[in-house]
Amino acid sequence: MNAAVPPRDRLGRPLHDLRLSVIDACNFRCGYCMPADRVPEDYGTDASQRLSFDEIDTLVRAFVRLGMRKLRLTGGEPLLRKRLPELVRRLAVIPGLDDIALTTNGMLLASQAQALHDAGLRRITVSLDALDPDIFAEMSGRRGQVGTVLAGIDAAMAAGFARLKINAVVQRGLNEDQVLPLVERFRGTGHVVRFIEFMDVGDSNDWRQDRMVPSSVLRDRIAARWPLHPLQADYRGEVAERYGFDDGGGEVGFVSSVSTPFCGDCHRARVSADGRLFTCLFAGEGADLRSVLAHGEDALVAHVAQLWAARGDRYSELRGSPEVRDRRRVEMYLIGG
C-alpha cells in the first residue's frame, strides 16, 4: 500500500477524523454507557495499559499522513488523564492537523479549561443531559452535579472557548422533559445544543428502540416553540443535522444515527486508550496498533492504510438485520463516542 496516497475503504470513504480515547476510566456511571451495576468502580485505572504521550504523538502523526485532519480527544473521561494539557500542546503543533477538539462530561472542566486553552485546544464539547439537578445526578450514576458542569462551561468561556457544543442524549421517560429547558438555557449564548439519539452501543446498556426518541420528534417539539429552518452542513460527513432559530437565537443540532444512518459519509476512525483501532462505533474487535507503533511511524502508516482499505463497516444501515444482530459490540467508554 502506498502510504503517500490517503487510503479509501471498500465503500470509497477516506479517513478524515480520529477519535482518540486517552483513558478508559470515568468519574461518572451514565446508564447508557457505563452502568454502575456492570462496570466496577476502579475500572480503567491501570495507567500502564494506556498509550504514552510519545506513542500518541507518533500515532497522530501517522494518521495525519493517512489523511486525518480532525482529532477529537475523548475517553472514558479525558480530563482524568494526568497532564492532558501537555499532550494537547504536543499535538497542536503537528503539521497538517487542522483541528483538535475534546469531549468531556465537564465535572473537572472549571479547573482545567484555562490550561487546555493555553495549550492550544480551541474546541470543547460538553455532555449535559439535563438541567434538573435530580435528573442530572441520576443520569450520571449519582456521581455528577449539574452546577459543577455549568460552572465548567462558564470557566471554559472565560478561558476563551467562545462557542461550545453541548451534547444531550435523550431517553424516553428519563430526560425528554429536559429538551426545551436545555434549548432555552443555551439559545442566544453562542453555544450549540445537539440532541443525540440513544444508541445501541456496547452490550451493557439495555438499549431498546422504544427508549430512543427520534430526532424528528424533538425537532418538531422545539420548532413549535421556536421556529427553525435547516442549515447547510459545515462540511461533508458532518454527523449533526443543523437548524437555525428563525429569530436569530443561534442554532441547534441533531445526531440521528438510529433513525437516519449516515454510514455512507462515515470518515471516522477510533482508537482506544490502549491503542486498538476500531473502524466502526459498533465494531466487535479492535486491531492492536501498539505492537506496530513500536516499529515507528512508517510501519504504522502502512499498517493502518491496509486496515482502512479493508473496512466495509455500515452497522447503522444494517441495524436489526441477521448480519449484525447477534454481534458483540465494543463498549462506548472504550472508544469515546
DSSP per-residue codes, 273-329: TTSEEESSTT-S--EE-HHHHTT-HHHHHHHHHHHHHT----HHHHTTSHHHHT---
Query: Does 201 help bind ligand SF4 (rule: CB under 6 A)?
Result: no
Q: Please choose, out of 72-80, 151-159, 178-186, 235-243, the segment that lies near ligand SAM by the rule CB under 6 A.
A: 72-80
Cβ contacts of 37 within 8 Å, gap of 6 or more: none
- The kind and range of the H/E element at 16 are none
Burial class, 294, CB count within 10 angstroms (exposed 0-12 / middle 13-18 / buried 19+) = exposed
Query: Does 112 help bind ligand SAM (rule: CB under 6 A)?
Result: no
Which 268-327 residues touch ligand SF4, going by CB under 6 A? 280-282, 313-316
Q: x/- string (CB under 6 A) for ligand SAM, residues 233-272? A: ----------------------------------------
**Least Å from the CB of residue 331 to ligand SAM:** 9
Which 190-209 residues touch ligand SAM, going by CB under 6 A? 196, 198-199, 201, 205
Q: Contact with ligand SAM (CB under 6 A): which of 103, 175, 178, 279? A: 103
**Least Å from the CB of residue 121 to ligand SF4:** 18
Closest by CA to 6, choosing from 55, 57, 48, 69, is: 69
Nearer to ligand SF4, 58 or 104 (CB): 104
Phi and psi of 252, rounded to 5°? -140, 150
Query: Does 150 help bind ligand SAM (rule: CB under 6 A)?
Result: no
DSSP per-residue codes, 167-219: EEEEBTTTTGGGHHHHHHHHTTSS-EEEEEE----SSSS---GGGBPPHHHHH
- The kind and range of the H/E element at 94 are none
Q: Contact with ligand SAM (CB under 6 A): which of 18, 39, 74, 204? A: 74
Query: Does 24 help bind ligand SAM (rule: CB under 6 A)?
Result: no
Query: Does 26 help bind ligand SF4 (rule: CB under 6 A)?
Result: yes
Task: State the maximum Cα–Cα separation within the chain, in Å, rounded to a whole number.
Answer: 57
Buried b (16+ CB within 10 A) or exposed e, 230-240: eeeeeeebebb
**Least Å from the CB of residue 336 to ligand SAM:** 4
Q: Answer whether 58's CB lies under 8 Å from 297's CB.
A: yes
Which 250-269 residues touch ligand SF4, going by CB under 6 A? 257, 262-263, 266
Query: Does 104 help bind ligand SAM (rule: CB under 6 A)?
Result: yes
Q: How far apart are CA 61 and CA 293, in angstroms?
A: 11
Query: Does 167 help bind ligand SAM (rule: CB under 6 A)?
Result: yes
Q: Contact with ligand SAM (CB under 6 A): which of 9, 24, 77, 241? A: 77
Nearer to ligand SF4, 186 or 315 (CB): 315
Query: Does 289 help bind ligand SAM (rule: CB under 6 A)?
Result: no
Nearer to ligand SAM, 131 or 169 (CB): 169
Helix axes 109-119, 84-92, angle to 10 degrees: 20
Phi and psi of 306, rounded to 5°? -65, -45
Tell me which of ligand SF4, ligand SAM, none is bound by residue 68, counting a contact when its beta carbon lies within the kind-specific cut-off of 5 to 8 angstroms. Answer: none
Q: Which of the 8 DSSP states describes residue 14?
A: B
Q: How far apart are CA 112 and CA 156, in angstroms?
A: 9
Q: How many residues bind ligand SAM (CB under 6 A)?
A: 21
Nearer to ligand SF4, 250 or 336 (CB): 336
Phi and psi of 300, rounded to 5°? -70, -40
Chain residues in the site for ligand SAM (CB under 6 A): 26, 32-33, 74-75, 77, 103-105, 127, 167, 169, 196, 198-199, 201, 205, 332-333, 336-337
Chain residues in the site for ligand SF4 (CB under 6 A): 26, 28-30, 33-34, 75-77, 105, 127, 257, 262-263, 266, 280-282, 313-316, 333
